[in-house]
Structure 1
Amino acid sequence: MVGEVQKQPAEIRFAEELARLTASDPGPRPPGWRLSPRAVRAFVIGDEARGVTRKFWGDDALVDRCIVSVMGLQGLLLVGEPGTAKSMLSELLSAAICGTSRLVVQGSAGVVEDHLRYGWNYALLLAEGPSARAMVASPVLTAMRTGQIVRIEELTRCPPEVQDSLISILSERTLAVPELGEGTEVRAAPGFNVIATANLRDRGTHEMSGALKRRFNFETVESIRDPAFERALIARQLADRLADHPAIPAPAPDVLDVLVTVFRDLRTGRTAEGETVAQPSSIMSTAEAVNTVHAASLAAAYLDGGPLTARHVAGQLRGVVFKDDPEDGRKLRAYVDQVARPRARSSRAWAAFCDGT
């Protein structure tokens, strides 16, 4: 149907919760903020009393530090392994603080300085010369003018000389526009700040300059340590993905237990019993676990016409997770032989997992 989309931004998905928090938010608000810091925190980590769901499942103290960072005059840089919900956290913070998470620059090797500053409508530029009407504002410039948060995804994928165009923006809170005349500049309105993300292990990244690092507060987003937390998050994310498939039931608890245990064993290189296992080169993140169980649920319902089992999880594991190194397949087989098969002697779910590998 016209108008339907696969995924709405956080400010639309959670519009009712944001409205509820706004109506019951007596706390002081920093200049330019739509909610108080306490309400922002409640939006991200949940508040049952006000009917607000938890959206970020991780370290609550990390969320507090991020909120404090955004209130200051330094940018916030979320670093960590791929799949640890850095982008989701930046989206949630932006939606709660300024009402929009859609001022985004996607970092890549193709990003040029114009993407972080401004460009030109060349038809107008040729017809009129440099003018405010001919200038095309970047998301960064738009955020400065409106006092909002700009998100820069994968900052370290941008070339170093492009990254450094943020230095004066973050330190002086100003952006010079010399083409419009000497002394012309845009100064950031209250509420402006930058939330960037960067992966630690991905290929194709660049080192940040020392000058730019000093303009950011670094916060490391780690994998979820509590298996119960991770299980609950996966179940919630899967339910959201399967909302358009009401006939597919929620996975059985023992299937989720197998999924979470496999990912945690291979992610850490050690089982709960203390046995060492070979770690694959691929990132065994919670996000990949959600992808795996989502694919397995679709396969079970639409191809096999039955309930999801651990056999379906095993069948999807290789294609969803092991993407780079052929050795990862060998490591998975070794894990099945050394760890999964002994567990299968006393567990039907683990036996089904072994049958599917």
Structure 2
Amino acid sequence: MTAATVLRPHAEQDHAAELAALAAADERAKPPNWNLSPWAVVEYLLGGTLPDGTVITPKYVGPRRLIEVAVATLATDRALLLLGVPGTAKTWVSEHLSAAISGDSTLLVQGTAGTSEESIRYGWNYARLIAEGPSAAALVESPLLHAMRDGKLARLEELTRIPADVQDSLITILSEKTLPIPELGTEVQARPGFNLIATANNRDKGVNELSSALRRRFNTVVLPLPDSAEAEVEIVSRRVAELGTSLQLPAEAAELSEIRRVVTVFRELRSGRTEDGRTAVKSPSGTLSTAEAISVLTGGLALATHFGDGVLRPHDVAAGIHGAVVKDPVADRAIWIEYLETVVRERDGWADFYRAGQELS
């Protein structure tokens, strides 16, 4: 299926033209089995203009050095762990790194409390196993085994949600670069180009904390929240425009003033202080991440498109903000009402948003 016929194309499909242009212009040294040089991978992530005039759109807005460290890590024998609070684009960055380096971002294991060792190592087609016994034909390769065999990057989401004994099955893979298959009396040795990108949330610390042996196999890069309101507005604006196009919601509905309003509310509640630093506010239990701001605005666009006049207005985003803030119906609701009364009510140009917030509360 082409990128135009699916709801959410993979990064290598959606940005195929950019990746091809970078490959054509890339004259720098490439590690074995990499599609692009480390320099070109960083350009793909952070954006720029090529000598032929091709514009590479930024995929990540943040410190360049962090992305350079992440890419350099993948060119070594150490795996990469992207760490940060929810909504700091860890999954987004891992997908685009895999797309740029391997041309394939689909070799993914989603970590959960129920993730089994078979999901990381290999499993069996039990019908063939019973009928024929252990054989290569009955083996079901995991994404990691597939990446080892082909010399590509594998991705592992939410590493700290995986049970500790299952996590430790990664140690041999990452240290010896081999995966024994004792049932067949053989092993799969990783080809050059193989590596692993794992993600984990700061807030998951202690759920299934990594052993020291496993942590040594990773180089950790912490992805921060956007430094400034302008940087966060830029990130949110770009992603809302992309999602609006994908979902066939009118791009003109994404009013910059409403994007700024959502970002302002999230940043103030997150930091516990208003933009001008004069008023302290209480922070709710939720993370109020950039990803949630994007979700709030996309939902507002849908309301404006299907139940309004096509223009994003304060009452279109108020419901989404209320849902993002009020995770605890008692404590968070009290915090939200206090914020409305002490901050929003007194702010010039926010009267419509205040009334919409009051109606929902």
TM range (shorter): over 0.9
SS in 2 for 1:185: strand
Instruction: Rate the CA distance shift 1:116–1:306 in 2: closer, same or farther, 3 A.
Output: closer
Contact 2:285 2:327 in 1 (8 A): no
Counterpart residue number, 1:217: 219
Q: Distance in 2 between matches of 1:308 and 1:37?
A: 40
The TM-score with structure 2 as length reference comes to 0.93
- Aligned residue pairs total 351
SS at match of 2:291: helix
Offset of 1:203 from its aligned partner?
8.7
1:292: how far off? 0.6
**Counterpart for residue 256 of structure 2:** 253
Q: Is the 8 A contact 1:116 1:165 kept in 2?
A: yes
The change in CA–CA distance for 1:204 and 1:293 in structure 2 (over 3 A counts) is farther
The answer to whether the 8 A contact 1:259-1:310 is kept is no
> What is the aligned partner in structure 1 of residue 148 from structure 2?
144
Q: Does 1:160 align with 2:161?
A: no
Residues in 2 aligned to 1:257 and 1:8: alpha-carbon distance in whole angstroms? 28
1:355 counterpart residue number: 355
Q: Paired residue for 1:18? A: 19
Cα gap change, 1:93/1:123 in structure 2, threshold over 3 Å: closer, same or farther? same
Q: Deviations over 1:32-54 (max 9, x none)?
A: 11100000001000012331100
User: Contact between 2:305 and 2:311, CA under 8 Å: does it hold in 1?
Assistant: yes
User: Percent of aligned positions with the same letter in both sequences?
Assistant: 45
CA offsets per residue over residues 247-274 of structure 1, 9 Å max, x none? 4524333222211111110111112211
Alignment-derived partner of residue 235 in structure 2: 233
Q: Distance in 1 between matches of 2:187 and 2:309?
A: 62
Contact 1:157–1:204 under 8 Å retained in 2: no
326-335 or 315-324, which deviates more: 315-324
Moved more, 45-54 or 194-203: 194-203
**Structure 1 portions without partners, runs of 5+:** none
Structure 2 residue runs without a partner (length 5+): none
Q: Check if 1:103 corresponds to 2:117.
A: no
Separation in 2, partners of 1:322, 1:88: 26
Residues 139, 324 of structure 1: alpha-carbon distance in 2 compared, 3 angstrom cutoff: farther
Q: Of residues 189, 192, 196 in structure 1, which corresponds to 2:191?
A: 189
TM-score norm. by structure 1 comes to: 0.94
Deviates more, 1:21-30 or 1:328-337: 328-337
For 1:20-169, list aligned pairs within 5 A: 20-49=21-50, 50-169=54-173
> 2: CA distance between counterparts of 1:203 and 1:170?
22
Contact 1:9 1:101 in 2 (8 A): yes
Task: Judge conservation of contact 1:82–1:202 (CA < 8 Å) in 2.
Answer: no
Q: Which residue of 1 is the match for residue 270 of structure 2? A: 267
SS at match of 1:94: helix
After superposition, what is the alpha-carbon deviation per residue over 1:132-190, rounded to whole angstroms, capped at 9, x for unaligned? 11111100100000000000000111100000000010011011111112xx2111000
Amino acid in the other structure paired with 1:64: E
CA RMSD of aligned residues (A): 1.8
Aligned match of 1:242 in 244, 267, 274? Answer: 244
In structure 2, distance between residues paired with 1:247 and 1:198: 35
Maintained 8 Å contact 2:249/2:302: no
- Structure 1 residue 353: Cα displacement: 1.3
**Are the equivalent residues in 1 in contact too, given 2:110–2:157 (CA < 8 A)?**
yes
Residue 6, structure 1, aligned to residue 7, structure 2: yes
Q: 1:331 to 1:12 in 2, by over 3 A?
A: same
Q: Given that residues 272 and 282 in structure 2 are in contact (C-alpha distance below 8 angstroms), is that contact kept between their aligned partners in structure 1?
A: yes
Counterpart selection for 1:338 from 342, 347, 357 = 342
Code of the residue aligned with 1:132 in structure 2: it is A
Match of 2:280 in 1: 276
Structure 1 range deviating more: 313-322 or 31-40: 313-322
CA deviation string 1:274-330 (max 9, x = no partner): 121101111110000011111112112211235211232222212244334531111
**Equivalent-residue separation in structure 2 for 1:99 and 1:341 (angstroms):** 50
Decide whether the 8 Å contact of 1:78 with 1:197 is kept in 2: yes
SS of structure 2 residue aligned to 1:356: helix
How far off is 1:4 after superposition?
Answer: 2.5
Answering whether residue 179 of structure 2 is matched by residue 175 of structure 1, we say yes
